[in-house]
Chain A
Amino acid sequence: MAELPPKVTIMKGASPDLSAATYQIHDESHTIGNALRWMLMKNPKVEFCGYSAPHPSENVIQVRIQMYDNLSSLSALITALADLDALCATIDEAYVKDMREGDYERWIERS
Chain B
Amino acid sequence: MAQVYDPRRLVGIRAERVTDVSSRDFPGHYPGEDHSWNLEKFRENLTVKIRRVSDRSIDFDLVGVDASIANAFRRIIIAEVPTICIENVYVYNNTSVVADEILAQRIGLIPLNVDPKTMDMRVDDESTDRNTIVFTLKLECTRKKDAPKDSTVPSELYNDHELLSGHLEWQPAGEQAEVFSKNPPAPTNPNIVLAKLRPGQGVEITLHAVKGVGKDHAKFSPVATASYRLLPHIVIKKPIPPHLAEKFQKCFSPGVIHIDPRTKVVTVDEENKRKDTVSREVLRHPEFEGYVELSRVRDYFLFNIESESAYPPQRLFQEAIAVMRGKLANIRRAAEALLDQPADGDVVMADP
Contacts and interface: CB of A to CB of B under 8 A. Distances in A.
A92 B36 CA distance: 22
B55 A108 contact: yes
B35 A91 contact: no
B318 A34 contact: no
Contacts of B39: 83, 86-87, 90
Contacts of A84: 324, 328
B54 A81 contact: no
Interface residues of A, number: 63
Interface stretch (B12-20, B68-76, B201-209, B251-259): B68-76
A35 to B, nearest CB: 4
A109 B57 contact: yes
A92 B26 contact: no
Nearest to A105: B52
A74 B321 contact: no
B331 A81 contact: yes
A28 B50 contact: no
A44 interface: yes
A89 B72 CA distance: 14
Given A8-B331, A10-B338, A85-B329, A98 B49 contact: yes
A43 interface: yes
A84 to B, nearest CB: 5
B352 interface: yes
Most buried by A among B34, B75, B321, B328: B328
B57 A82 contact: no
A77 B337 CA distance: 13
A104 B52 contact: yes
Main SS at interface, chain B? mixed
A11 B55 CA distance: 48
Interface stretch (B139-147, B232-240, B260-268, B339-347): B339-347
Contacts of A86: 39
B351 interface: yes
A74 B52 contact: no
Contacts of A91: 46, 48, 62, 65, 69, 321
A4 B338 contact: no
B28 interface: yes
A58 interface: no
B325 A89 contact: yes
Nearest to B39: A86
A12 B334 contact: no
Contacts of A111: 56, 189
A105 B350 CA distance: 50
